[in-house]
Structure 1
């Protein structure tokens, strides 16, 4: 396992302060945090929190263990089971409430379970898996502030040893089955949440196209459809936070890990953040092949509405009708597996000194709007006059 130095962690704290972001993390749970009997102790956790606070940092939310579904991969002792997890989580819970009362406690942070037969946890082998329901049952009566889980619709090619059932292809990237997998993972964990933590918000604390570093096309515009469609779907289903894995590392990073140049999904994330406010509206259009339409209040514009319209058909145009004029932001690429993306026909790239370009929309009138095949369009209707957007 890697070791994070104090200087590296201070760099994380400094970065979070520079971009005004809260830190969401998990705690160390390996052998160095345990006593002779293998029971987790909070001694190192307290030292780590003290160092974080001294550096001017704050942990906004935390899971105790990263992906306890496969606890052995995180350094848990041999034979670790749900009962041991429950014992240790209760120790952590009591410690966290006292040492960091403002920190939200998330859990369980499980991964790989789904209502679909493609669930990636199957690739690890059922003999090593700790089921989310057993984990959550074992921690009772300790309560979390948010029900967290991880989602991957597949395992990357670099981990093909997990079996063919966990694999996917670029040809599947725009299909309804592939884009809908995030719903089926959430549906599985919803059952557990409803049984033990009814009403708690969901946090998707780790997700990307594929586990184990992502597939090669995660670097391209092709994966941007999944990226944005997932945000739209989950926002409608009580998911408060979606944390993409990663900002910069491996194929699924939003930035190139050698040049730090933005990849297509980075630009998509930036447009989402600037346009789609936290209030979710009903678009009135069911998800269908060729048109996935999501509606939010327009960020920073009282009464305004922002639409995200995804045409996931590779061959057919479609259209929607707007009740008012809008600023249009259409993302497209010459080739779907292109490492670059165009906004309203112009390639997006950093300027001198890595300055972000001016992301201007194109003004269009009310009425029909055509959506080209394999394109993604944001529409900002500042004069929509929506009474829910105040």
Structure 2
């Protein structure tokens, strides 16, 4: 089953900085301008979009309801977790966000405080107002050695059982009952095994983990565009594939404990502490992002949460203007074109060409994404052995017409490339048309080009290609699984 895209909204104050960089600005949950037309239109284009509310400081958040007599702001305090004191989410602000979520059709995953929070009062308030939370994730980066704080696996397992019982008590109707997710931290095999053994099979609905496999963003900020080694890493398939062991390990644990909603990446940002200023918003970042989406799908992850929607250097939208960065369009095409059934692909041409295939979303047919990380090599690709769930691909220098989707004369192609070939730039071309919002800040229409289905697929150097082919004669892509 393929994965759904989800993006984070962080609970962070404007004063949050790392290494003298403050990339979050006024884009956190506590101060984001929810009336920005660009933000609203960008979310509506997904119809629906999942958003996770949480982040680094969620385990220091109290909720302005119930026994909370006042609602303090976060204050800088170097002796406290992540350098900030305990802070508060006012219920008036939660009201504003839910009005916004209803307006834009957002599905909400909420990150609960697993250390000091009064979750009962917050959840009761949410229910009393008729707000819909699709899932609750318990804690942030508390697994293993943790990030600033940690909880022993056995204790976390006991605590999440208490949370599950609370959710079931407050939501007795299984049809409207939010999912319970955890642990929302870095994968540690021993810790994950212990916590799931304590909690049992029927408690955790989704096993969530975080991935930041480039390390702190400051390293990239200091070395990124001027350091050819960093760009080489991002375009090196063998380097990208190292994280496959994490995906595989989490999947094995999920299969062992039969989590109902499987494995989720609930936070992924490539680089810690806000991302890489000179790299995250550029075209080259799309190679890394889309390859991880494809890899996560291959290892049967159900949901992939990009850090973040709008705050930090790694945001999908510009923190100030809400104008989409390149990865926004990559994610939107993934969301619109790739369905929930993943197909096996054997790619025999070149390691610099990554290929992933899914059944088409809401239609009969297949969708393939090609990620060409080579700066020098272009490919003409043909598809062979189109049967069952095995798709063998090869490149050819000759236009050999053995590429065919059954039941269709034409296929749809979406070619993404950097403006003027500058992969360090922030403008992406779709079929040679710059992707920029309209004067009214609407997301531009993403039109495919129609290509004769019998011809090879032409993939330029340093480009990304989505391909959609209809198949009206059966095969593995005849129906979609139910959404999560």
TM band (smaller chain): 0.7 to 0.9
In 2, Cα distance between equivalents of 1:9 and 1:288: 50
CA contact (8 A) 1:112 1:152 kept: no
How much does 1:7 deviate? 2.7
Aligned with 1:379 (options 449, 457, 467): 467
Query: What is residue 117 of structure 1 aligned with on the other side?
Result: none
Query: What is residue 22 of structure 1 aligned with on the other side?
Result: 107
Change (3 A) 1:290 1:81: closer
Change (3 A) 1:288 1:63: farther
Query: What is residue 227 of structure 1 aligned with on the other side?
Result: 289
In 2, Cα distance between equivalents of 1:203 and 1:214: 21
Count of residue pairs the alignment pairs up: 353
> What is the RMSD of the two structures over their aligned residues, measured on CA atoms?
2.6
In 1, Cα distance between equivalents of 2:126 and 2:350: 47
Aligned with 2:95 (options 4, 7, 10): 10
| Structure 1 residue 298 corresponds to structure 2 residue 360 | yes
In 1, Cα distance between equivalents of 2:107 and 2:185: 22
Q: Deviations over 1:98-138 (max 9, x none)?
A: 22351111222221548xxxxxxxxxxxxxxx933333334
In 1, Cα distance between equivalents of 2:185 and 2:143: 5
SS at match of 1:7: helix
In 2, Cα distance between equivalents of 1:348 and 1:312: 21
Query: What is residue 430 of structure 2 aligned with on the other side?
Result: 343
SS at match of 2:440: helix
In 2, Cα distance between equivalents of 1:323 and 1:133: 46
TM-score, length-normalised on structure 2? 0.67
| Structure 1 residue 89 corresponds to structure 2 residue 89 | no
Query: What is residue 37 of structure 1 aligned with on the other side?
Result: none
Change (3 A) 1:195 1:159: farther
Query: What is residue 163 of structure 1 aligned with on the other side?
Result: none
Query: What is residue 217 of structure 2 aligned with on the other side?
Result: 157
In 2, Cα distance between equivalents of 1:94 and 1:200: 18
Change (3 A) 1:254 1:260: same
Query: What is residue 389 of structure 1 aligned with on the other side?
Result: 477
Query: What is residue 202 of structure 1 aligned with on the other side?
Result: 263
In 2, Cα distance between equivalents of 1:385 and 1:74: 55
Which structure features the higher share of helix residues? Answer: 1
Change (3 A) 1:250 1:284: same
In 1, Cα distance between equivalents of 2:144 and 2:91: 27
In 2, Cα distance between equivalents of 1:319 and 1:237: 28
Change (3 A) 1:386 1:182: farther
SS at match of 1:4: strand
TM-score, length-normalised on structure 1? 0.82
| Structure 1 residue 330 corresponds to structure 2 residue 330 | no
In 2, Cα distance between equivalents of 1:132 and 1:361: 43
Change (3 A) 1:199 1:53: closer
Change (3 A) 1:183 1:287: farther
Note the residue ranges of structure 1 that are not aligned, 5 or more in a row.
34-43, 115-129, 161-167
